[in-house]
């Protein structure tokens, strides 16, 4: 039931107030009333890849909550365009939508445009602080209010087959020297030591995250955190050294020579076919590996020169309730179902790494060992924290280093320039310390 | 009375009125016929174009409810003062030149070879040359991502089969050749269009000209040079204008080949449309995207106008 509703719905009240469909900056000016609904309908959209998991989740929700109707649709982002979420929100077509991640590239623009409403009332109502990881809630907040709820975490690393590592008598490398020695063994055996599909989505950046995290550490000067949320610069030594390390393994023939020409899917194919020993990927590839190799697979994080292995993690599948939502209460009930209800269980059993502590014991072993579950600290997964200008300079530049177009130092300067320009343009909040 | 006298004699008022009424009638008819197109163009071309020009003078991210401040030409300065823009301009001009000449020349020569020689069966050749146009440009580009695969792609397999085992070009991964690989798709696709238009034009040429040339002992090359080319000049101007416009805006090729690392590797395939797409759709720089759109519009209008002026100026006087 809506606490506003004594003969008038919130939607009607907003109309009467002349607020219109999109309540620009409404969230900060007016408290939304939140309650557990006893009936309702919500319209839910999510991208088709992970959306596959949500078919089962939606079915289970309807079974448990027959009083709530769900109009669920999956979207093929490659077809409808990268900004489909914004368009759906602007059109008032959804009550719940996955806005990809809670980072500068995705959350801040829709927040600035007043397209979403705060979730603090639901956070209290459903006691999400007890269930959702504190870092996920912190990163999803701006100005002291919670604006999105990430359901998943994503982690990047290098996937491998356990049997392959055993056959070479190597374990997960704990240092740069061990890592290089392992790659050399693969190369000597005629395997592609480390494959990576850079064309298209620029996956070299994932190698860079891992090397940088390893060299720069979890926090302090030169760390990824220091650059994204503090006063650090992309030109700081760890970032440049990490870029140089990628060039070094490429020149030594330890990185797939086709890296600049192939896509992530091509890299996956090479790994699955056995042509490549390691494949740079992330948790989004887990279900495919489970399907292909049963239990004979896992993922490691690659140490950089002088550092140990440090995982890079990032919140994703960040759900938002648009300001123009017609039934936010029903949408929030579904969110809670995915945080601590059967929905969370279903998502977990399918190999997803959740941002909630619920049902952690049911996760597959490859998930159980990851820092989100173990509670170990991890570094940032940068993707999404960089707006378009910086992201373009970052992605294009890493490829440019391998192609010999620029040096690691020039790349770092280009990214730093683009980053400062994005700050100047208001694409990144000047004070980001509350996200630390 | 002499003819001169007739012409000098004042026209009767009725005749003048009649001619004037006829002219008005023709104007009315023209207006009725043109109005629907003008209205549609006004709504879907001129209004958005004017809106884009207006937007380019503001600082708007494309999502905020507030349009932002009027900043004049600052947006243009910001959008153009960077490496991706200079690459985009360079590549766009290169594409324009390639579009203007390469598919046009290949299409014309191929059409002349099939139509003006004893090549048989003609239907088969016509079909073969036109096949690429059965695919949309975007689909063709998507297909070529496989053809260009360095390890499993057709081109490198052929190179390998010919014994050049050490040569393995990274067609889309090497910034030095990626732009040419992308242009290859464009040329493959657009040559088919040029071919079919030139085929139709050559078929319209009076065959007696060819017969007379042969009687005079003209070679095939001379026939092509002195009969075919002058006869299809106007068609060539049309084809080259289209190719120039398409060549300056080959988004449908570059997007499937490089997305989502659009314009890569390292801006080597960057063109103005990809830059506009990135600013407007992958980021929130609507005003800069608008400024780049205005620049692209000016570029296309300027170059096409110059080209048409040149063609007009060099046209045979008769």
Asked if residue B161 and residue B29 are part of one domain, the reply reads no
d(CA A385, CA A387): 7
Q: Does the residue A22 lie in any domain?
A: yes
| B12 or A259, greater pLDDT | A259
Q: Does the residue B65 lie in any domain?
A: no
Asked if residue A89 and residue A222 are part of one domain, the reply reads no
Report the DSSP pairing between strands A96-98 and A40-47. parallel
**pLDDT for B1:** 45
pLDDT band, residue B7 (cuts 50/70/90): low
Q: Does the residue A59 lie in any domain?
A: yes
Residues in chain A: 436
**pLDDT for B300:** 95
pLDDT band, residue B6 (cuts 50/70/90): low
At A195, give phi and psi (nearest 5°). -100, 155
Asked if residue A284 and residue A246 are part of one domain, the reply reads yes
Q: Is B273 on the interface with A (CB under 8 A)?
A: no
In this complex, do B285 and A389 lie within 8 Å of one another by their Cβ atoms? yes
pLDDT band, residue B282 (cuts 50/70/90): confident
Asked if residue A204 and residue A106 are part of one domain, the reply reads no
Asked if residue B175 and residue B81 are part of one domain, the reply reads yes
Q: Does the residue A435 lie in any domain?
A: no
**pLDDT for B263:** 84
The 10s digit of each residue's pLDDT in A117-137 is 999 999 999 999 999 999 899
Mean pLDDT, rounded, for A325-335: 95
Q: Is A110 on the interface with B (CB under 8 A)?
A: yes
Say yes or no to pLDDT of B159 above 60.
yes
Q: Does the residue A393 lie in any domain?
A: no
Report the DSSP pairing between strands A312-320 and A149-160. antiparallel
What's chain B's average pLDDT?
A: 90
d(CA B30, CA B22): 12
d(CA B104, CA B135): 19
Q: Is B80 on the interface with A (CB under 8 A)?
A: no
Exposure string over A381-413, b if 16+ CB within 10 A, otherwise e: bbbbbbbbbbbbbbbbbbbbbbbebbebeebbb
| B87 or A78, greater pLDDT | B87
pTM: 0.83
**pLDDT for A19:** 37
Q: Does the residue A397 lie in any domain?
A: no
The 10s digit of each residue's pLDDT in B66-104 is 888 899 999 999 999 999 999 999 999 999 999 999 999
In this complex, do A199 and B265 lie within 8 Å of one another by their Cβ atoms? yes
Tokens coding A261:
């020409």
Tokens coding A214:
């390893």
Say yes or no to pLDDT of A357 above 80.
yes
Size of interface A-B (CB pairs under 8 A): 115
Q: Among residues of chain B, what percentage have pLDDT more than 70?
A: 96
Q: Does the residue B6 lie in any domain?
A: no
**pLDDT for A50:** 55
Q: Does the residue B219 lie in any domain?
A: yes
Closest CA to B279 of B256, B296, B301: B296
Asked if residue A271 and residue A187 are part of one domain, the reply reads yes
- Distances, alpha carbon A309 to alpha carbons A102, A217, A284, in Å: 25, 10, 20
| B10 or B112, greater pLDDT | B112
Alpha carbon of B184: minimum distance to chain A alpha carbons (Å): 16
pLDDT band, residue A112 (cuts 50/70/90): confident
CATH of the domain at A344: 3.40.190.10
Q: Is B170 on the interface with A (CB under 8 A)?
A: yes
Asked if residue A346 and residue A285 are part of one domain, the reply reads no
Q: Looking at the 3D structure of chain B, how many domains does it have?
A: 2
Q: Is A376 on the interface with B (CB under 8 A)?
A: no
**Domain assignment of residue A142, given as a range:** 10-147+318-358
Closest CA to A248 of A169, A159, A179: A179
Asked if residue A165 and residue A136 are part of one domain, the reply reads no
Asked if residue A47 and residue A139 are part of one domain, the reply reads yes
Question: Is A25 strand, coil or helix?
Answer: coil
Mean pLDDT, rounded, for A32-58: 82
Question: Is A74 strand, coil or helix?
Answer: strand
Asked if residue B260 and residue B143 are part of one domain, the reply reads yes
Which positions 231-250 of B are in contact with A (Cβ < 8 Å)? none
CATH of the domain at B131: 1.10.3720.10
Q: Does the residue B83 lie in any domain?
A: yes
**pLDDT for A199:** 76
Q: Does the residue B3 lie in any domain?
A: no
**Domain assignment of residue B288, given as a range:** 74-313
Asked if residue B158 and residue B229 are part of one domain, the reply reads yes
**pLDDT for A53:** 74
Q: Does the residue B297 lie in any domain?
A: yes
Mutation site, B284, B285, B286, B288, interface A, largest A CB count within 10 A: B284
Q: Looking at the 3D structure of chain A, how many domains does it have?
A: 2
In this complex, do A400 and B84 lie within 8 Å of one another by their Cβ atoms? no
In this complex, the residue of B65, B150, B285 whose CB is nearest that of residue A114 is B65
What's chain A's average pLDDT?
A: 87
């Amino acid at each position: 039931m809506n606490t506003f509703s004594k003969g008038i719905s919130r939607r009607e009240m907003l109309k009467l107030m002349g607020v219109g469909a999109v309540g620009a900056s409404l969230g900060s000016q007016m408290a939304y009333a939140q309650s557990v609904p006893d009936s309702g309908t919500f319209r839910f959209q999510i991208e088709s890849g992970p959306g596959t998991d949500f078919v089962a989740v939606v079915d289970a929700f309807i079974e448990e909550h027959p009083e709530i109707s769900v109009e669920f649709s999956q979207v093929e982002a490659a077809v409808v365009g990268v900004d489909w979420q914004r368009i759906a929100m602007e059109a008032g077509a959804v009550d719940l939508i996955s806005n990809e991640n809670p980072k500068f590239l995705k959350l801040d623009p829709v927040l600035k445009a007043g397209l979403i409403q705060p979730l603090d009332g639901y956070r209290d109502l459903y006691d999400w602080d007890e269930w959702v990881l504190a870092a996920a809630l912190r990163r999803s907040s701006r100005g002291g209010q919670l604006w999105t709820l990430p359901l998943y975490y994503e982690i990047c690393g290098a996937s491998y087959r356990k049997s392959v590592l055993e056959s070479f008598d190597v374990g997960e490398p704990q240092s740069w020297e061990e890592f290089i020695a392992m790659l050399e063994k693969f190369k000597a055996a005629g395997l592609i030591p480390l494959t990576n599909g850079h064309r298209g989505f620029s996956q070299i950046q994932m190698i860079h995250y891992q090397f940088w995290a390893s060299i720069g550490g979890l926090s302090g000067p030169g760390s990824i955190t220091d650059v994204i949320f503090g006063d650090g610069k992309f030109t700081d030594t760890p970032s440049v050294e990490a870029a140089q390390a990628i060039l070094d393994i490429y020149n030594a023939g330890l990185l797939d020579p086709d890296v600049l020409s192939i896509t992530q899917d091509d890299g996956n194919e090479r790994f699955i076919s056995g042509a490549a020993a390691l494949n740079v990927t992330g948790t989004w590839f887990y279900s495919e590996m489970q399907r292909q190799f049963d239990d004979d697979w896992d993922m490691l994080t690659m140490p950089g020169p002088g550092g140990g292995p440090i995982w890079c993690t990032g919140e994703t599948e960040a759900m938002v309730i648009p300001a123009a939502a017609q039934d936010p209460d029903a949408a929030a009930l579904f969110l809670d179902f995915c945080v601590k209800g059967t929905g969370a269980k279903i998502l977990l059993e399918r190999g997803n790494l959740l941002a909630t502590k619920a049902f952690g014991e049911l996760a597959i072993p490859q998930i159980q060992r990851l820092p989100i579950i173990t509670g170990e600290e991890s570094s940032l997964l940068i993707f999404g924290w960089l707006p378009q200008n910086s992201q373009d300079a970052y992605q294009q530049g890493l490829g440019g280093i391998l192609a010999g177009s620029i040096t690691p130092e020039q790349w770092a300067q280009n990214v730093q320039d683009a980053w400062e320009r994005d700050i100047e343009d208001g694409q990144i909040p000047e004070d980001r310390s509350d996200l630390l | 009375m002499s003819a001169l006298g007739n012409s000098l004699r004042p026209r009767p008022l009725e005749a003048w009125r009649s001619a004037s009424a006829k002219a008005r009638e023709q104007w009315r008819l023209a207006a009725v016929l043109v109005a629907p197109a003008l209205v549609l163009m006004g709504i879907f071309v001129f209004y958005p174009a004017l809106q884009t020009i207006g937007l380019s003078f503001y600082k708007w991210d494309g999502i905020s409810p507030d349009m932002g401040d009027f900043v004049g030409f600052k947006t243009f300065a910001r959008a153009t003062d960077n490496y991706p823009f200079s690459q985009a301009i360079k590549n766009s001009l290169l594409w324009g030149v390639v579009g203007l000449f390469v598919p046009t020349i290949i299409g014309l020569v191929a059409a002349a070879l099939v139509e003006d020689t004893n090549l048989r069966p003609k239907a088969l050749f016509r079909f073969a040359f036109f096949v690429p146009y059965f695919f949309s440009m975007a689909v063709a580009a998507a297909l070529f991502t496989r053809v260009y695969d360095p390890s499993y792609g057709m081109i490198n397999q052929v190179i390998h089969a010919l014994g050049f085992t050490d040569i393995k070009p990274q067609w889309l991964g090497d910034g030095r050749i990626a732009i040419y690989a992308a242009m290859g798709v464009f040329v493959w696709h657009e040559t088919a269009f040029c071919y079919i238009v030139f085929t139709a034009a050559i078929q319209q040429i009076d065959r007696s000209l060819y017969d007379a040339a042969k009687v005079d002992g003209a070679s095939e090359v001379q026939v092509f040079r002195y009969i075919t080319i002058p006869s299809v000049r106007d068609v060539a101007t049309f084809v080259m204008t289209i190719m120039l416009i398409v060549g300056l805006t080959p988004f449908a090729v570059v997007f499937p080949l490089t997305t989502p690392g659009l314009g890569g590797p390292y801006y080597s395939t960057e063109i103005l449309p990809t830059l506009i797409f990135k600013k407007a759709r992958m980021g929130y720089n609507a005003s800069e995207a608008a400024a780049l759109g205005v620049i692209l519009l000016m570029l296309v209008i300027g170059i096409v106008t110059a080209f048409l002026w040149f063609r007009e100026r060099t046209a045979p006087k008769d």
